Structure 1
Amino acid sequence: MAQKIYLPNGMEAIQAEYNTFPLEEFNQNPFIQALPLLADKTTIIKKLAVEPSFSESERDMDSIYRLHMVERLYQFYQPLPIHLDIWDMIHSLLIQGYLARNPFDIDYRRYQNESGKQIINRSYEINTRLNFRTTAGCGTLIGFSGMGKTTSTNRVLSNFPQIIVHNEYNAQNFNHIQVVWLKLDAPSTVSLKALCLQFFMKVDELLGTNNYKKYVSRNASVDMMLPLIGQLAQNIGLGLLIIDEIQNIKKRGADQIMNFFVSLINSGVNLAIIGTPGAYALFGNELRIARRVTGNAEIIFNNMDLNNEFKLLLESIWKYQWTKTYTPLSDEIISVFYHHTQGISDLVVKLFIFTQKMVIKNKKEHFDVEDIRRCAEDNFKLMEPMLDAIRSDNPYKIAKYEDIRRIEKTSIETGEHKTRKISDEENLKAEVNNKLVDISTKEKKSKRLAYEEEDLRLLLKKGVEEEKSPYELLLENGWIDDMAHWNEDSAYD
């Protein structure tokens, strides 16, 4: 186990210990050799899994204590196949990004020195390579809110040291502090300057340095700070910069920030971008940007289907019952859980917690499907419109909530989305009108029928008499939603 040490500012770090990899290209670089060895699936699962403390004897304790024991389930973490993909993405980004950044490579050291001189002389050009070809890349993790994107990323990162202190490498003096990863949140203000300032402050917080005071002034521009960020990242051996909550970036200023990300990659900084489906449209507008931000991996984290993966999650958590009477897991319970959570892992855990607490409080001490339904109705009232939209599988209803849009397999570079795109209200009106007018034409050619009250053809017939368009009739009678607000904030514009 690596020796822990503490920096002068009190932050914890580890002393570098160099591993030998089967791949020779990894064994010439201290930044890579100080990283953990590659692991197989079984090892990764063991490292990621979190099992809360539990004993069956605890079911006999007083309810006031058991109510607190149920809260342990918030610590529960069951690795699923997609979590292994996240691990692989992060580990791959770290290693591949360091390949061209060997501190003992003459060309790389020359590049650092020349870049530093250019920054001082204010002649730095981000696209000037100076005989240095970066191996930095970018990975994206886009998915449903509540599926655990941030939690999963944090679980993976916890298995990689954040700060490594080097003293000697291959019998040579090598005094260096390596920051393996750094995590930022995309500013809700869509301010590039705020993101740059956050970078400097985070580095100072970790290392106890004064880069913020040194480089940042009131008049400092983003163009001035970008090369400084790239140079600082090289100086501290930054392996990966993670930017979370990317959906905070809206259309205003999006192109500028996406260009900023590409510039960071060009300067040698590895990126991982995390966000909800609301951010997905940011990547598809320009091939150059889409190609770079999905260069190493593109992971889509949709809600789970009612399949073996969802059953695995429930089976893994089901033993953690603090009610006096154990409730076996049945197919009916699995179905009810899925109906009320729609495969969103955060809601699965919360519903299991809320149900147990409810029956412990009312002294029933066991639960059934009706208790689960009642608990979901009482606790998920605010989320019910979103869950209803997911159940409907109606793209018009789902599109109201940008963080639950299900992203199907797409080609992000060509923009060939299998999911349907709707530009504005007029497109929707035209489509509805065209389809229903076509129905009207066919009905005129057929013999008259006695339609039932809820038959759309009866509604259409009345509309002809009242001289109203099919769209107006459907809207007035609640068959479709008013899409006027799409013109203002649709993510598909």
Structure 2
Amino acid sequence: MSKNVILPSGMEAHEAKYMDFPIPEYNHNPFIQALPPLVDKQEIIKKLTLTPSYKEEERNIDSTYRLHIIQRLYKFFQPLPIHIQIWNMINTSIMQGYIARNPFDKEYKRYVNETGKQIINRTYEINRSINFRTTASSGILIGLSGMGKTTAVNAVLRHIPQIIIHNRYNGQHFSRIQTPHLTLQAPHNSSLKALCLQFFMKIDELLQTNNFKKYVSRNLSVDAMLPIMGQVAQNVGLGILVIDEIQHLQNRGIQQMMNYFVTLMNSFGVSIIFIGTPASYHIFQNELRIARRVSGSGEIIWNNMKNDKEFRFFLESIWRFQWIRRFTSLNDDLIALFYEETQGISDLIVQLFVNAQYLAIESGKEELTVRLIKKVAEAQFRLMKPMLDAIRSGNPYKISLYEDIKRIEITNSSMRVMKEQAITKNEKEKVEIKKVMTNKLAVPGRKRMIKAADYKEDDIRSLFAHAVKSGKSQYQLLLDYGHIDDMTYWREW
């Protein structure tokens, strides 16, 4: 068991404890071996499950206190199959990204030193070709608002130390600080400078460094700060960068932002996880370089739950936490009602259940009825009614009015479709280019020449054909037919 150390910043760090993996490429690398061991599905579920404190006798205490107790339900977390996917995506991205960044690898150390010198001398070029073979990748989590994307990612990251302190490794002196993960919010104005400053502030907050003051006080340009951000990421052993609310990126700055994320992966070896609503889907469709970096299990599409076993399981899991006097058993009518009112959006399910209990206690009814739940839903979800109505309708046009609730249909792999679309587009362009080149190189006479008789009467090209026969110039014919004005008038005037 590793020891916990309190840093000057007040943050808790873990002293590195190394373990061997049955995977050869994960060994002889302190950044990987200091991470928590890999676990199976059952262990993942145990680690992620979070149930509120509950005692049967609490249902009999005064209503004043029970109104406060039911707020515990907002801490409820029931793992579903998609949470296991998120767990695996995050852990895989971190470990795989570290493979090429072994601090004891001579080639990697040489590359880091050369890059550092170039950054100091301001000769580093973001888009330069490099001889560093990265193992970093990007993962994408796209889901409807209210499904708990950020909550799920944070739940997984809680089981990965954010700061690891290294002192000795395999009998050698190795004094390093490792930061396996860091979360940033996508800047609303798509500003790369805002991204850099947010990054420096977060690192300073964690490690009590002075990056923000150092680079802001020097009034460095964005071009100068971007490689420094990558260098700092290398220095602190950053494993994965989580970019939340990616849909906030605006059209004008999307390409620049995405170009830099590709640089972070390619040049600095940092894996990236993007989190966003369906409104962000087009960003990845338009960025082939990001899409192609996503592995087969690296994209997760999280739609609202269907009215099936998963929804019923989620509702049953939370239903047992009742603080009303008369416990209400879950039946098919209540299940149908909850789905109708929430459309399988997990956050709304919890809200409806909490507020239904609140009204039942406050009104003195002390039980959950269909009428009471409908009343609560009508009051609590008034602002969301247009969006929920759109989801209920299943009408693509109505749903498209609200980008955050678009349901992304998955065939085999959405990102695979993106890649295929991008590749198909490239292939089509190649075919078009080939056609043009073929036509240019075609031998004259093999293709039937178009004659004047082939043109329609109102086709302007027929005038040019007639001009040859009549002996008039093309300009004169255009003038005679009224297609252009006589400029003589304007010269004389």
Taking structure 1 as the reference length, the TM-score comes to: 0.82
Q: Is the 8 A contact 1:126 1:266 kept in 2?
A: no
Answering whether residue 216 of structure 2 is matched by residue 216 of structure 1, we say yes
Structure whose alpha-carbon radius of gyration is higher: 2
Aligned partner of 1:413 in structure 2 is 419
Q: Is the 8 A contact 1:144 1:403 kept in 2?
A: yes
Aligned partner of 1:458 in structure 2 is none
Alignment of 1:28-47 (within 5 A): 28-47=28-47
Taking the aligned partners of 2:316 and 2:109, their CA distance within structure 1 comes to 53
1:179 offset after TM fit, Å?
0.7
Taking the aligned partners of 2:16 and 2:276, their CA distance within structure 1 comes to 33
1:8 offset after TM fit, Å?
2.3
Aligned partner of 1:156 in structure 2 is 156
Deviations 1:460-483 (A, max 9, x none): xxxxxxxxxxxxxxxxxxxxxxxx
1:140 offset after TM fit, Å?
0.6
Aligned partner of 2:4 in structure 1 is 4
Q: Is the 8 A contact 1:137 1:296 kept in 2?
A: no
1:56 offset after TM fit, Å?
1.1
Taking the aligned partners of 2:368 and 2:9, their CA distance within structure 1 comes to 51
Q: Is the 8 A contact 2:189 2:250 kept in 1?
A: no
Taking the aligned partners of 2:291 and 2:250, their CA distance within structure 1 comes to 17
Deviations 1:123-143 (A, max 9, x none): 213355654211111101010
Name the one with the larger helix percent. 2
Q: Is the 8 A contact 2:399 2:406 kept in 1?
A: yes
Answering whether residue 327 of structure 2 is matched by residue 330 of structure 1, we say no
Alignment of 1:174-193 (within 5 A): 174-193=174-193
What is the Cα-based RMSD across aligned positions, in Å? 1.4
1:217 offset after TM fit, Å?
4.5
Gaps of 5+ in 2: 423-493
1:111 offset after TM fit, Å?
0.5
Q: 1:18 aligns to what SS in structure 2? A: coil
1:38 offset after TM fit, Å?
0.7
Aligned AA for 2:419? E
Give the 3 Å change call, closer, same or farther, for CA 371–63 of structure 1 in structure 2: same
Answering whether residue 405 of structure 2 is matched by residue 404 of structure 1, we say yes
Deviations 1:248-282 (A, max 9, x none): 01212111111121111112111011011111111
Taking structure 2 as the reference length, the TM-score comes to: 0.82
Taking the aligned partners of 2:211 and 2:349, their CA distance within structure 1 comes to 44
Aligned AA for 1:261? F
1:219 offset after TM fit, Å?
4.3
Deviations 1:197-235 (A, max 9, x none): 101111111111111222234742222112111111111
Give the percent of matched residue pairs that are identical in Structure 1 and Structure 2. 60
Alignment of 1:65-84 (within 5 A): 65-84=65-84
Taking the aligned partners of 2:153 and 2:287, their CA distance within structure 1 comes to 27
Aligned partner of 2:464 in structure 1 is none
Taking the aligned partners of 1:147 and 1:68, their CA distance within structure 2 comes to 24
Indicate the larger mover: 118-127 or 168-177: 118-127
Aligned partner of 2:485 in structure 1 is none
Aligned partner of 1:246 in structure 2 is 246
Taking the aligned partners of 1:294 and 1:216, their CA distance within structure 2 comes to 37
Alignment of 1:354-373 (within 5 A): 354-373=355-374
Taking the aligned partners of 2:147 and 2:234, their CA distance within structure 1 comes to 34
Deviations 1:61-113 (A, max 9, x none): 11111111111100000000000000000000110000000001100100111
Aligned AA for 1:264? L
Aligned AA for 2:40? D
Q: Is the 8 A contact 1:144 1:302 kept in 2?
A: yes
Give the 3 Å change call, closer, same or farther, for CA 405–130 of structure 1 in structure 2: closer
Q: Is the 8 A contact 2:138 2:290 kept in 1?
A: no
Aligned partner of 1:169 in structure 2 is 169
Deviations 1:352-411 (A, max 9, x none): 001111111111111111211111011110111100000011111111111101111231
Deviations 1:160-208 (A, max 9, x none): 0000000000000000000111100011122111011101111111111
Taking the aligned partners of 2:104 and 2:131, their CA distance within structure 1 comes to 16
Taking the aligned partners of 2:208 and 2:196, their CA distance within structure 1 comes to 18
